[in-house]
Amino acid sequence: MEEEKEDLLFANYYLNRRALQPGRNRRYWVKPWMYRREQLGQYETLMRELREEDPEAFINYTRLPMELYDEVLTRITPRITKQDTWWRQAIDPGLKFACTMRHLASGDSYSSIKWEFRVPSNTMSMFVPEVCQAIIDEYAAEVIACPTTPAEWKEIANEFLRRWNFPHVCGALNGKHAACKCPPNTGSTYHNYEGFFSIVLMALIDADYKFIWLDVGPDGAASDAHIYNDCELKEVQQNKTIGFPDPEPLPRDDRNMPYFFVADNAFQLRTDMMKPFPFRNMTVEERIFNYRLSRARRVVFGILAQRFQILLSTMQHTPYNARIIVQACVCLHNLMRIRYLNMNIK
């Protein structure tokens, strides 16, 4: 219901602005140079050359290996294919996917990408959210799964101990502000404490940088603690239905210790939530603890933002579309972590 109200708000805003402009006759339905996209656009020229001559460059251009790129395109094609009409041909699904991946990978605006692919920016603004939604519908249930049993949580905790030398950790919890333009008529609703407009990605991440739970879309003015207090994750923690293993002794110890999440000082210290010591003049043991905890928390957001650099720029989208784009980036990131564990993006 909230998303529908936002869509109506933006639609009324742009329709009213358009009504104030003087009428004009359209000279072209599509400009002639854009019709030559099949001969001169990057989808048919540069991307084909990268496929045949430089697979590594293809990965850095699209953020996906060719095999995975083709698989994702094949699976989402039925969801994004439009029917040709007597008036004009529909845009090829492969071209839609290529424009979308370049937008996510580089963070370039539609106005910049249109010169490369010879696709109007207003057309891209319609199909990019559609492609992202198709990725979510096709892959979200497959690649984002929150553990529900003690054995699954214990497997994550064992991986944190093996890789980051911190026992009993069931995940790293944090929030990331994804910058977006100021929505009209929203005041300071999306203005965060860092001084820009954003939506918040609240996520729980395992030891292998994979997202196992996320909540996308709270406005930037909300704090991490406020978002966490209102989310379902805290609810299942409080009523003990989250499925954590029973407390067990730490290595080389005989006292039981509960399993927990690691977080920063924005969150409340609880038996199932561990955060660093906040004060100065710490003892050696306290500094070592903070160092170990920060190592366990280093799995949050870094690889995701470097792989899809739209998250490092200010997204020129409505909050509703920005949420879809962030979720699609998370799905593709998890897919890459599952299929290509050690692949780096330059």
136 Cβ contact list (under 8 Å, min separation 6): 324, 327, 328, 331
Amino acid at the residue 116: E
Q: Which helix (H) or strand (E) holds 56?
A: helix 55-62
Q: Phi/psi at 321 (nearest 5 deg)?
A: -70, -35
With both helix axes pointing from N to C terminus, report the angle between 55-62 and 46-53 in degrees, rounded to the nearest 10. Answer: 130
Q: Is the pLDDT of residue 169 over 90?
A: yes
Q: Are 206 and 188 in contact (CB under 8 A)?
A: no
Task: Give me the mean pLDDT over the 199-215 stretch.
Answer: 92
* Residue 216 to residue 220: CA distance in whole angstroms: 11
pLDDT at site 210: 93
The overall pTM is greater than 0.85: yes
Q: Phi/psi at 268 (nearest 5 deg)?
A: -80, 140
Residues 67-119: tens digit of each pLDDT: 999 999 999 999 999 888 877 788 899 999 999 999 999 999 999 999 999 99
* Residue 221 to residue 177: CA distance in whole angstroms: 10
- Report the alpha-carbon angle 243-249-250, nearest 5: 100
Residues 2-39: tens digit of each pLDDT: 555 555 555 455 545 554 455 556 666 677 787 888 88
Q: Which helix (H) or strand (E) holds 335?
A: helix 319-339
